[in-house]
Amino acid sequence: MSFVSDKVSNLPPYLFSELNQKKTALQAKGVDVIDLGIGAPDLPTPDFVINRLIKESQVAANHGYSVYNGSKEFREAVAHFYKTHYKVELDPETEVLAVIGSKEGIANLMQATVNPGEIVLVPDPGYPVYRTAVHLAGLESETLPLDEANGYKPLYSHIDPNVINRSALMLLNYPNNPTAAIADYNTFLKAIAFARKNQLLLVHDAAYDLLTFNGYKSPSVMQVPEAKEWAVEFGSLSKNFNMAGWRIGYAVGNKNVIKALSTIKSNIDTSQFLPIQKAAATALKSDFSAVDNHKKIYEKRMETMYAALHRLGIQADKPNGTIFLWAKVPQGYTSMSFAEKLLDEAGVIVTPGNAFGSKGEGYFRVALTVTVERLKEVISRIEQLNLNEVIH
């Protein structure tokens, strides 16, 4: 007996895990591997957030269980953030929920809102965890196509009407991982109209909402007047405040969905460690100067890498958000063969675009998660490669 469920056995291999195994093997041989694969922030968590964590960790009462929907202080801080940043009013009692990172929240949301036989529309290219979450919930996913010519906005007219009729939920993510595409208010206006017309739930993953450049400010789907009826939005402190390992985020929006997700979670977990919630509340009520400083660092890295790719003849759009660059592989390569060439011959890890869906083929993603000096080393190594020599 294997004692392994069909759900787990039928999971596609997690590409980032495979890349990490190759990285470990090369490092064991003494190769200096530079990892631009996983989007793991390398900048420090702000001191004032850490100090709050330390202070609250010394309070004995904070080591008990949190209330299931998250501490009142954290939920009120989320509502404060939406009011000050987006001019959106949220009821912290019914329209805000603490989650243990948006990845966990989205996975549990599938069970809370979708029935067997119903379809979840998943963006392609898109964050691979979305499709995995649908699979683990025993549900069916169908592609919500995005393409470069349309600025990676949803192509609703390309979806089979029979698929739409069976769909219960649609996922969006802006600023986008992996493409770094951005949305404007009209993007969300159209998304809410599509959700209303087809009676489905819109779920927006806003993990990179504050990491924007060039004067661009990312809107929230909650700014659309009918959003609370048709949508929920997930936010995270992982990227904005470099708190990835802290595992703290939130869901806001439709109160029925928030209650259903809270019910699922109350049977699975007991929310996040209270001192982490309190430290996160301090972050959300801060002046965001720490975020602004981090943005400047990421933007400098982006400009450095973008200019180098352009000089090398590799096509890429200059992003206005996220910590990623999305670029076309050189002619003659697939996404995977190009990524393998960089890893094997230059000791550089990038993520092949096909990891994000079939429409990601022909592209690769660069995570701007090392210093400018290390990025210059990456550039130097790529310049030494013969990119005209294609691996077959």
Q: Cα separation of 130 and 103, whole Å? A: 8
What pLDDT tens digit does each residue of the chain (392 aa) get?
889 999 988 887 767 777 778 888 989 999 999 999 989 999 999 999 999 999 999 999 999 999 999 999 999 999 999 999 999 999 999 999 999 999 999 999 999 999 999 999 999 999 999 999 999 999 999 999 999 999 999 999 999 999 999 999 999 999 999 999 999 999 999 999 999 999 999 999 999 999 999 999 999 999 999 999 999 999 999 999 999 999 999 999 999 999 999 999 999 999 999 999 999 999 999 999 999 999 999 999 999 999 999 999 999 999 999 999 999 999 999 999 999 999 999 999 999 999 999 999 999 999 999 999 999 999 999 999 988 765 54
Q: What is the CA radius of gyration of the chain?
A: 21
In contact, 102 and 249? CB cutoff 8 Å: yes
- Classified as helix, coil or strand, 272 is coil
The CATH number of the domain holding residue 315 is 3.90.1150.10
Residues 114 and 230 in one domain: yes
**Cα distances (Å, whole numbers) of residue 152 to 9, 162, 358:** 32, 23, 14
Please tell me the pTM assigned to this model: 0.96
Residues 131 and 13 in one domain: no
Residue range(s) defining the domain that contains residue 376: 6-44+290-384
Residues 33 and 158 in one domain: no
In contact, 280 and 77? CB cutoff 8 Å: yes
Residues 61 and 11 in one domain: no
**Cα distances (Å, whole numbers) of residue 67 to 58, 183, 233, 235:** 19, 35, 21, 20
Q: Cα separation of 98 and 74, whole Å? A: 8
Residues 227 and 196 in one domain: yes
Residue 232, in any domain of the structure? yes
Residues 201 and 260 in one domain: yes
In contact, 296 and 270? CB cutoff 8 Å: no
Burial 65-103 (b: 16+ CB within 10 A, else e): ebebbbbebbbbbbbebbeeebebebebeebbbbbbbbb
Residues 219 and 320 in one domain: no
Examine the fold and report which residue of 263, 285, 307 is the final residue of a domain before the chain moves on: 285
Show the CA angle centred on residue 238, arms to residues 237 and 241, nearest 5°. Answer: 60
How many Cβ atoms from other residues are within 10 Å of residue 184's Cβ?
Answer: 13
The CATH number of the domain holding residue 127 is 3.40.640.10
Residues 158 and 63 in one domain: yes
In contact, 248 and 334? CB cutoff 8 Å: no
Examine the fold and report which residue of 285, 318, 345 is the final residue of a domain before the chain moves on: 285
- pLDDT for residue 19: 76
* Nearest in space to 358 (alpha carbons), one of 138, 144, 136: 144
The number of domains in the chain is 2
* Alpha helices (runs of H) in 114-146, residue ranges in sequence order: 128-136
Residues 255 and 316 in one domain: no
